[in-house]
């Protein structure tokens, strides 16, 4: 990983922090993103100290804002001429329906629209740095959920778990379509389920999910174990040329049946382009 530049979103805690730390230990230049400056700077200092690598940068962005997501991409490109690894790790779970700065349902906005926009805005740098990799953290929660294109904003019959599951299904549909669109460019796109990880994720969500999450935490895997697949997808030479796969415990497995509907890949991409205001000729697939 020496000489490689890695961007890890949501890297101030949990599996994102562990991913950033381990990539830094391998000698990569690591660019962390965080929403909160104090927490981000504390994690940055810790990663520098534990890895012995001073090439650990911090960029701030709140993924509940498309404007901040765009600013993040601009700041990154102003500072770095290359990007070898993009890890779309940031995510959230909400038991109650909230809206983002742009008026979209918050879970869908943060878990899907933000990484969709960020990845597309960084595609030119990724292509110029090829071979490069895009890794998106999804979840087994996508199973048993379908993409309800008539209720993407979950304005009717909101369920925190179903909404979260739909956003994680969106991560997989996005990965599969991105992989198709990037064929021949040298940029690989894969996604993963990290397992049930004992982190602060979901701890303040309240409701039944918060209660169940609290009860299950003692039995969950550590952030170090949960980050293993992200680190493997980012760094393993075995994965050169491997793209369009869903991994669990570093092994490619089948995602849900719903996730293989190609018409859903394309439709979600087009809807997402519209929602984030992204219309660029070079993003149109050469099919």
pLDDT digit string, tens, across residues 69-100: 999 999 999 999 999 999 999 999 999 999 99
Does residue 17 register a pLDDT over 80?
yes
**Residue range 260-270: average pLDDT?**
97
Catalytic residue among 80, 93, 158, 164: 164
Does residue 219 register a pLDDT over 60?
no
Computed over every residue of the chain, the mean pLDDT equals 91
**Residue range 274-286: average pLDDT?**
64
Verify whether residue 164 is a known catalytic residue: yes
| Position with higher pLDDT, 209 vs 221 | 221
| Pairwise CA distance, residues 74 & 276, whole Å | 16
Facing residues of 136 across strands?
88, 191
Give pLDDT, residue 225: 87
Q: List domains and CATH numbers for the chain.
A: 5-278 (3.40.50.720)
Full strand arrangement of the beta sheet holding 187-193: 56-60, 29-34, 5-8, 85-88, 132-137, 187-193, 246-248, 251-253
Does residue 285 register a pLDDT over 80?
no
Treating both helix axes as pointing N-terminal to C-terminal, what angle do 207-216 and 160-181 enclose, rounded to 10 degrees? 80
Min mean pLDDT across 96-105, 149-158, 183-192, 212-221 is at 212-221
Q: How confident is the model at residue 278 (pLDDT cuts 50, 70, 90)?
A: confident
**Share of residues in the chain with pLDDT > 70 (%):** 88
Structure-block tokens of residue 283 = 């993003």
Q: DSSP letter at 260? A: G
Does residue 275 register a pLDDT over 60?
yes
Give pLDDT, residue 282: 43
Residue identified by tokens 């962005």 is: 61
Residue identified by tokens 């765009």 is: 70
Does residue 223 register a pLDDT over 80?
no
Residue identified by tokens 């999804």 is: 138
Element (H, E) at 107: helix 106-108
Q: pTM surpassing 0.75?
A: yes
């Amino acid at each position: 990983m020496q000489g490689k530049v890695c961007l890890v979103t949501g890297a101030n805690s949990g599996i994102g922090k562990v991913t950033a730390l381990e990539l830094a230990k391998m000698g990569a230049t690591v660019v962390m993103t965080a929403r909160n400056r104090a927490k981000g700077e504390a994690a940055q200092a810790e990663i520098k100290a534990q890895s012995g690598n001073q090439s650990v940068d911090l960029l701030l962005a709140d993924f509940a804002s498309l404007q901040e997501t765009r600013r993040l991409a601009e700041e990154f490109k102003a500072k770095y001429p290359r990007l070898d690894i993009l890890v779309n790790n940031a995510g959230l779970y909400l038991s109650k329906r909230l809206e983002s700065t742009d008026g979209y349902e918050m879970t869908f906005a943060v878990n899907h629209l933000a990484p969709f926009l960020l990845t597309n805005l960084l595609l030119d740098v990724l292509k110029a740095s090829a071979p490069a990799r895009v890794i998106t953290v999804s979840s087994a929660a996508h199973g048993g959920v379908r993409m309800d294109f008539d209720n993407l904003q979950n304005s009717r019959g909101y369920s925190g778990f179903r909404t979260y599951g739909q956003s994680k299904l969106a991560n997989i549909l996005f990965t599969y379509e991105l992989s198709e669109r990037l064929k021949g460019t040298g940029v690989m796109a894969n996604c993963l389920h990290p397992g049930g990880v004992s982190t602060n994720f979901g701890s303040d969500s309240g409701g039944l999910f918060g209660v169940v999450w609290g009860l299950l935490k003692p039995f969950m895997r550590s952030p170090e174990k949960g980050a293993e697949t992200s680190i493997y997808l980012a760094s393993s030479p075995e994965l050169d040329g491997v793209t369009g796969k869903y991994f669990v415990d570093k092994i490619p497995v089948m995602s849900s049946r719903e996730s293989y509907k190609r018409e859903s890949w394309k439709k979600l991409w087009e809807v997402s382009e519209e929602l984030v205001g992204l219309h660029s000729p070079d993003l149109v697939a050469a099919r």
